[in-house]
Amino acid sequence: MRYIKFQKIVDTIEALCISAAYELPQDVLDALKQAAEKESNKKAAKTLNQLIENAKIAKSEKIPLCQDTGLAVVFVEQGADTAIKPPGDRKDATLFDAINTGVEVGYKKGYLRKSIVADPLKERKNTGLNTPAVIHHTITQGESLKLTVLTKGAGSENKSQFKMFNPTADKEEIIRWIIDTVKQAGADACPPFVVGVGIGGNFELSCLLSKKALLRNIGSANSYKFYDQLEKDLLTRINALGLGPQGLGGNTTALACFIETAPCHIASLPVAVNIECHSHRHKSAVI
């Protein structure tokens, strides 16, 4: 059994929160550059180049890419042969405690906006810590601990949707609904988007799959030929909407569309779409 110190996890999450807020991943930056080169609409090309310049300034000046520094969504892949070693003064501290402490410290040290309210309806009082984080935990083989932080802004998250289709629904019906969801997101969700689609599972799993889909590198291919082609078809039809960067028109409404699937009940066909804005902030580390 390998023991990982509580503070090591705190420090790692802290660093991931700050770097995610300041530094756009290289695959996203490359996709924006390629889109700017190919964009036939001059206004759209100018907007894309402004987004690229914004990313350069954020990285060099150590300032957030966007004022909405998001809700911290943390994906944890914990090796079955690892355990967390709590500090001496906190014998009952857990992995989740370490993650939330790291988010709190990262958002404080990075001067990142705190956006989490403790109660969703009655009071909506800000916790002032940007915690609790939303944590998705899975057990894997081995002795490593992989931590991925996705800082998800509300503008794009608010435009995400879920639908339970009849199991008799065909591919075209689902495609039309996905495209309509992107169309409805419009300029409010800050395109160009990365579109995550979850198909199958059940009510909650399809939504989780759509968010996990966002973690794929732009340019990567789906391992299943059918879904690889479906991703390509969706991206083509989404970009044909003409919404364009920041909703100002053009050929670049989305940079990528990724699909994740899971087995589902014979009587259901759940589908979820998670919209992500152009400021697609996520970072990973393996301890």
Per-residue confidence (pLDDT) for residue 88, from 0 to 100: 78
Percentage of the chain exceeding pLDDT 70: 100
Look at 75 and 91; give whichever has higher pLDDT.
75
Q: Which band of pLDDT confidence, cut at 50, 70 and 90, is reported for residue 133?
A: very high
User: Does 234 score more than 90 pLDDT?
Assistant: yes
> Does the structural domain 2-19+65-152 have CATH classification 3.30.360?
yes
Give the chain's mean pLDDT: 97
Cα distances from 247 to residues 70, 101, 127, in angstroms, run 21, 37, 33
What is the rounded CA–CA span in Å between residue 236 and residue 254? 9
Q: Which band of pLDDT confidence, cut at 50, 70 and 90, is reported for residue 212?
A: very high
Q: Which band of pLDDT confidence, cut at 50, 70 and 90, is reported for residue 94?
A: very high
For residues 8-32, give the mean pLDDT. Answer: 98
Buried b (16+ CB within 10 A) or exposed e, 25-61: bebbbebbeebbeebebeebbebbbebbebbeebeee
User: Does 287 score more than 90 pLDDT?
Assistant: yes
Number of helices followed by number of strands (H, E) in the chain: 8, 10
What is the rounded CA–CA span in Å between residue 37 and residue 48? 9
Dihedral angle at the C-alpha atoms of 54, 57, 62, 68, nearest 10 degrees? -10
Using one digit for the tens of pLDDT, what is the confidence trace for 62-90? 999 999 999 999 999 999 999 999 987 78
- In 10 A of CB 228, how many CB atoms? 14
Q: Which band of pLDDT confidence, cut at 50, 70 and 90, is reported for residue 215?
A: very high
For residues 211-230, give the mean pLDDT. Answer: 97
In 3D space, the residue among 247, 121, 273 whose CA is nearest the CA of residue 195 turns out to be: 273
The domains of the chain are located at: 2-19+65-152, 154-280
Per-residue confidence (pLDDT) for residue 89, from 0 to 100: 77
User: Does 57 score more than 90 pLDDT?
Assistant: yes
Per-residue confidence (pLDDT) for residue 75, from 0 to 100: 98
User: Does 147 score more than 80 pLDDT?
Assistant: yes
Q: Which band of pLDDT confidence, cut at 50, 70 and 90, is reported for residue 250?
A: very high
User: Does 91 score more than 90 pLDDT?
Assistant: no
Per-residue confidence (pLDDT) for residue 124, from 0 to 100: 97
Map residue 151 onto helix, strand or coil.
strand
